[in-house]
Amino acid sequence: MKQDMIVILDLGSHENTVLARAIRDLGVYSEIYPHDITAQELKALPNVKGVIINGGPNNVIDGVEIDVLPEIYEAGFPVMAAGHDKACCAVKLPQFGGDVEAIKAAVKSFVFETCKAEANWNMKNFVADQIELVRRQVGDRKVLLALSGGVDSSVVAALLLKAIGDKLVCVHVNHGLMRKGESEDVVEVFRNQLNANLIYVDATDRFLGKLEGVADPEQKRKIIGGEFIRVFEEEARKLDGIDFLGQGTIYPDIVESGTKTAKMVKSHHNVGGLPEDLQFELVEPLRQLFKDEVRACGLELGLPYDMVYRQPFPGPGLGVRCLGAITRDRLEAVRESDAILREEFKLAGLDKKVWQYFTIVPDFKSVGVRDNARSYDWPVIIRAVNTVDAMTATIETIDWPILQKITDRILKEVKNVNRVCYDMSPKPSATIEWE
């Protein structure tokens, strides 16, 4: 089933994604396109029912005020204009400062009465459409996917499995910096439950050997990222007949990597950082989904709730939570204390309330008492933050009995630890991660 679509033309607004989300919340699919799209390109898009021109403060490029092409108004689609005084023959949409409910109320009549769009945007239809598109793109050839176990790669893997079955080859690299049980969960879900063609690579010794004695955070990140690519390439070279590379690119990756009217926030490796001589054609079935839609897609595909709602996790994994030069015993202290924190947060219902929570073990020791004797061990630091966009973050206020229970368990169950601290620093001035 093909979804009706409302096209948003980006004329320098900060609220393009908010507007797109509001329209999707109404049950109608929406995509954002550049302001200079031609009428021919617009007509070539599937099931377009109407156009919203979304103006804003970024409407000047190289000193020239930009506008849509006049032919857009003659293309035969209803047009609504937001924050754009020059638009002719268009319904005017006021700016609502990011208020999704107000935007939904303002566009509802335009979407359903003027454009005659049907509310047929939902995950069941999206999955069915993407399966058809993937099958058409891939045919009887093979797709290679780096399956980290993160939300995006897991959902892509599940969707590609539905579409092409054993023509998908997944490679999961365990770099020894995963949280407790995560690699085992990937193998259990994808190989044992979903029967995926999964290659599991335990590269723990290789990664930890490369990281030995390295204390600088950026150097650690570069070693981990570079080594991951090398391991993945080595596995890919062992395979024959791979023509496609599957990726978990999602819509915020594309937005953050910059558009014609928006400056780059950060470069994403799966948007602009791939080599020009890449030998694979990309398969990116989630590239138009927002994060919460990716999670909904994962549930629609039957993935476990805990996997779909997994917390944000840095690419270098626990490597940036084992501060300074990584040692195996301190890394184990991070892994075990983190598992206790996650278990207790889940029991207390905080796992659904707190955006991100984890433990850190720094590279210094303090005097303490263990088994009635002097000890000289590490502290564990607990971090629990809430945020909307990760640009700022506030600290979660945890009830004292919960914090006390977590502390008691860490001190009793984690080796070489004699203190537990709670990080009270918001962002700014601190960052979410310590490294």
H/E stretch holding 343: helix 328-347
CA 322 to chain centre: 23
pTM, whole model, 2 decimals? 0.77
Is the pLDDT assigned to residue 14 strictly greater than 80? no
Q: What is the reported pLDDT for 262?
A: 44
- Residue 390 region, left (φ>0) first, then alpha (ψ -120 to 50), else beta? left
CA 66 to chain centre: 31
- Of 136-150, 306-320, 395-409, the one with minimum mean pLDDT is 306-320
Instruction: Report the amino acid identity of residue 381.
Output: I
- Distance, CA of 50 to CA of 45 (rounded, Å): 11
- Of 86-100, 283-297, 419-433, the one with minimum mean pLDDT is 86-100
How does residue 241 score in pLDDT terms, banded at 50, 70 and 90? confident
Tokens of 320: 């940036």
Contact 56, 11 (CB under 8 A): yes
- Distance, CA of 327 to CA of 333 (rounded, Å): 10
Is the pLDDT assigned to residue 59 strictly greater than 70? no
Contact 90, 120 (CB under 8 A): no
- Of 43-57, 163-177, 203-217, 321-335, the one with minimum mean pLDDT is 43-57
pLDDT digits (tens, 9 = 90+) for 183-200: 999 999 999 999 999 999
pLDDT digits (tens, 9 = 90+) for 269-320: 333 334 455 567 889 999 989 888 999 999 999 999 988 988 888 888 999 9
Residues 229/234/239/242 CA torsion (nearest 10 deg)? 30
Is the pLDDT assigned to residue 258 strictly greater than 50? no
Q: What is the reported pLDDT for 92?
A: 52
How does residue 323 score in pLDDT terms, banded at 50, 70 and 90? very high
- Residue 36 region, left (φ>0) first, then alpha (ψ -120 to 50), else beta? alpha
Higher pLDDT, 388 or 6: 6
3-state secondary structure of 407: helix
Query: Mean pLDDT throughout 130-134?
Result: 94
Instruction: Report the amino acid identity of residue 224.
Output: I
317: number of CA atoms within 13 Å, CB side?
26
- Of 57-61, 98-102, 254-258, 372-376, the one with minimum mean pLDDT is 254-258
303: number of CA atoms within 13 Å, CB side?
30
Q: Please, what is the average pLDDT of the chain?
A: 87
How does residue 366 score in pLDDT terms, banded at 50, 70 and 90? very high
Burial (CB < 10 A; 0-12, 13-18, 19+), residue 277, is exposed
Q: What is the reported pLDDT for 177?
A: 96
H/E stretch holding 422: strand 417-422
Strand pairing category for 417-422 and 373-386: parallel
Q: What is the reported pLDDT for 60?
A: 58
- Distance, CA of 289 to CA of 31 (rounded, Å): 10
H/E stretch holding 49: strand 48-55
Q: How many CB atoms lie within 10 A of CB 308?
A: 20
Query: Mean pLDDT throughout 63-87?
Result: 78
Instruction: Report the amino acid identity of residue 312.
Output: P
Residues 341/347/351/352 CA torsion (nearest 10 deg)? -170
Give percent of the chain with pLDDT exceeding 70: 88
- Distance, CA of 382 to CA of 341 (rounded, Å): 8
Is the pLDDT assigned to residue 263 strictly greater than 60? no
